[in-house]
Amino acid sequence: MQLQVTNSPFNQEQTEILNQLLPTLTETQKIWLSGYLAAPQTAAFLMTPESRAKNQPVAGNSPQSIKPSATREVTVLFGSETGNCQALSEDLSQKLEEKGFKVVLSSMDDFKTKDLKKVQDLLIITATHGEGDPPDNALSFYEFLNSRKAPKLKDVRFSVLALGDQSYEFYCQTGKDFDQRLEALGAERLHPRVDCDVDFDDLAAEWMEGVLGQLQDSSQVGQVEDSNVTKIAQLQTGATIQQVTKYSRTHPFQAEVLENLNLSGRGSNKENRHLELSLEGSNLEFEPGDSLGIYPENDPALVDRIIAEMQWDPEAPVTINKVGEVPLRIALLSHYEITILTKPLMEKAAQLSSNGQLKALVAPGNEEKLKAYIDGRDLLDLLHDYSPWEVPAKEILGILRKLPARLYSIASSYKANPDEVHLTIGTVRFHAHGRDRAGVCSVQCAERVKPGDKLSVYVHKNPNFRLPADPDAPVIMIGPGTGVAPFRSFLEEREEIGATGKTWLFFGDQHFRTDFLYQVDWQRWLKEGVLSRMDVAFSRDTAEKVYVQHRMLAKSKELYQWIQEGASVYVCGDEKHMAKDVHDTLLAILQQEGGMDQEAAENYLTDLRKQKRYQRDVY
């Protein structure tokens, strides 16, 4: 919102203050402010969420206008790896407070397990990480709940919202585990669990609506008599309010590409791109550790091969939810995922097909064969291998899931470059099953995106990957390959704010000559003292492969000393191999230098994680 000076009784200074305040207010705060300002004339009395939860009116408000408050407390716990579940939990908590409920909102890590038996209504929103594992900030709660120490919960009502990705074998497994375990402990299911794929907005909204409905049906909720209260449309001054467009995951910004450079040297086995995008006019802001979501387009050549294989009319109209009618080719280019097969997709395809081999492949007992077929194949393979298809195009498209955004760690500081965002993107290319394959977004950026083109983007907040609040605290950063991207953002930020804490970067890749990403930046920061020290590992430059964990182990004494001095440890990059190896190396260093046994070292790292001093952004 923007307050215009025209016809306003406010002077320029007051107008500027109001324009700084208005965009930061929640709907609840706007309603409260409206009632507060109007109270002397209209007696439109309101309560803050905090005072409403305590059934106490704001000073000067009329108690007669308030109905009884909710008799039960709602606890909202989240397990979030990339921030989606935390954002949904905050949204749900706000909705609950607006309905008059008292709410406890917490990450699972920060929730005191001794208080679990006091909980009345428990709402869990959790992601699933890796091979069906809980997110880092849900691990300790997950282990407690599945231990013999977990209390009986016969007086607790609960519901679970699970986020996942159907392209992974253990889809939404953590949410399923919580749902089953809470029931086994005697809790009553308030509302059925909902499992969400990467396109989670609609299902999450339906789950919230269902949960709110159940809670309201069974509780007396404090509400405000609102006959004279409306949300702020005007500040009762005659001044007009301008609506500022808010860009988000569901309403992306069209960002112009300013630069698109190949960071990899000639002869490299890799292609790593550095993109600079303009955010001018977007009102988007970000912090070090956040990611940028890009909505990509599929490879036109692959789309055309699918259309040719099926002998479809590329101009045939296709209706897409919330979009409307578009030509079939545009639908395949921009709206549907066609490069990844999943078990649910294969099962739905078998229902549309008369092919006995396909039906046998998805039958119970053939899980390993199905998993092997899915690996490295795409929609074109499926349509070709199990033809003919005697169903119209719209039915095939109806089983496809929405083309999801791709997230990339931001490689720049907003404070240093307020109208830009920089990305480091590793181009994915591979050969499988007789055909060359390509990453959807990475190859689009490498081959088809030029300066002046635009990409659909949004900022993805990641509150679980943040610099220490104290700029004097030491920082250890471990980021091989493109995993180094957020640490470029970290150091740009620390340079901009004049942070004085020590910094140590571990970087690795294949070859010094061709794969030393951002080498000039690191060297400048080392010279200026923004980066205190740097250790590198180029695995293909020596007879024996050397990785970042080997460099860490070689400097174990100094690393342990930094951690003892209060350093925060950050890890970014590949989860399956690098992150696991780094984690094991940290455990080894704690045992070697700290004289700990395995259990003590694991507990030490767990404590670091709870203190936000061991943070990972792995994928």
318 is in an annotated binding site: no
8 is in an annotated binding site: no
Q: Mapping DSSP to helix (H, G, I), strand (E, B) and coil, where does residue 612 land? A: coil
441 is in an annotated binding site: yes
546 is in an annotated binding site: yes
- Tokens standing for 18? 């109001």
Using the CB atoms, write b or e for 275-288: b if 16+ within 10 Å.
Answer: bbbbbeebebebbb
439 is in an annotated binding site: yes
- Sheet bearing 454-460, strands edge to edge: 406-409, 291-295, 454-460, 253-262, 272-278, 420-426
164 is in an annotated binding site: yes
424 is in an annotated binding site: yes
Report angle CA 189, 192, 195 to the nearest 5 degrees.
130
CA distance 136 to 583: 12
585 is in an annotated binding site: no
What pLDDT sits at residue 199? 87
168 is in an annotated binding site: yes
Using the CB atoms, write b or e for 298-329: b if 16+ within 10 Å.
Answer: bbeebbebbbeebebeeeeebeeeeeeebebb
Q: Furthest-apart CA pair in the chain: how many Å? A: 83
Sign of the CA dihedral 559, 564, 566, 571?
A: positive
64 is in an annotated binding site: no
169 is in an annotated binding site: yes
- Sheet bearing 614-618, strands edge to edge: 533-538, 503-509, 475-478, 568-573, 614-618
Q: Find residue 318's DSSP bridge partners.
A: 326
409 is in an annotated binding site: yes
What pLDDT sits at residue 576? 83
- Tokens standing for 464? 């679980």
Asked if residue 362 lies in contact with residue 350, where contact means CB atoms within 8 angstroms, the answer is: yes
Residues 6+ apart with CB under 8 A from 245: 251, 283
Asked if residue 482 lies in contact with residue 573, where contact means CB atoms within 8 angstroms, the answer is: yes
CA distance 222 to 98: 9
What pLDDT sits at residue 64? 35
248 is in an annotated binding site: no
DSSP-derived secondary structure letter, 391: S
163 is in an annotated binding site: yes
170 is in an annotated binding site: yes
Roughly how many angstroms between the first and final C-alpha of the chain, as a whole number? 37
77 is in an annotated binding site: no
Q: Where are the beta strands (DSSP E) in 128-193?
A: 157-163, 188-189
Per residue in 58-92, pLDDT (tens digit) is: 443 433 333 334 457 999 999 998 889 999 999 99
83 is in an annotated binding site: no
What pLDDT sits at residue 357? 96
What pLDDT sits at residue 520? 97
What pLDDT sits at residue 365? 94
Asked if residue 619 lies in contact with residue 460, where contact means CB atoms within 8 angstroms, the answer is: no
86 is in an annotated binding site: no
497 is in an annotated binding site: no
172 is in an annotated binding site: yes
C-alpha 45: how far from chain center: 38
489 is in an annotated binding site: no
Asked if residue 539 lies in contact with residue 545, where contact means CB atoms within 8 angstroms, the answer is: yes
What pLDDT sits at residue 33? 63
DSSP-derived secondary structure letter, 504: E
Sign of the CA dihedral 426, 427, 428, 429?
A: negative
- Tokens standing for 371? 């998993």
DSSP-derived secondary structure letter, 70: P
Residue with tokens 């002869």: 267
Q: What are the 10-residue block averages of pLDDT along the chain, 619 residues in total?
A: 51 65 63 52 38 40 38 88 91 92 93 90 92 89 91 93 90 95 95 93 94 81 37 40 75 96 95 97 96 98 98 96 92 97 96 96 95 96 96 96 96 95 97 96 97 97 94 97 98 96 97 97 97 97 95 98 98 91 97 97 95 94
Asked if residue 519 lies in contact with residue 490, where contact means CB atoms within 8 angstroms, the answer is: no
DSSP-derived secondary structure letter, 471: T
**Can you list the domains of the chain with their CATH numbers?**
2-66+225-242 (no CATH), 73-218 (3.40.50.360), 253-296+405-460 (2.40.30.10), 300-398 (1.20.990.10), 475-618 (3.40.50.80)
H or E element: which one contains 586?
helix 580-594
What is the per-residue DSSP string for 253-316?
A: EEEEEEEEEE-SPTT-S--EEEEEEE-TTS-----TT-EEEEE----HHHHHHHHHHHT--TT-
339 is in an annotated binding site: yes
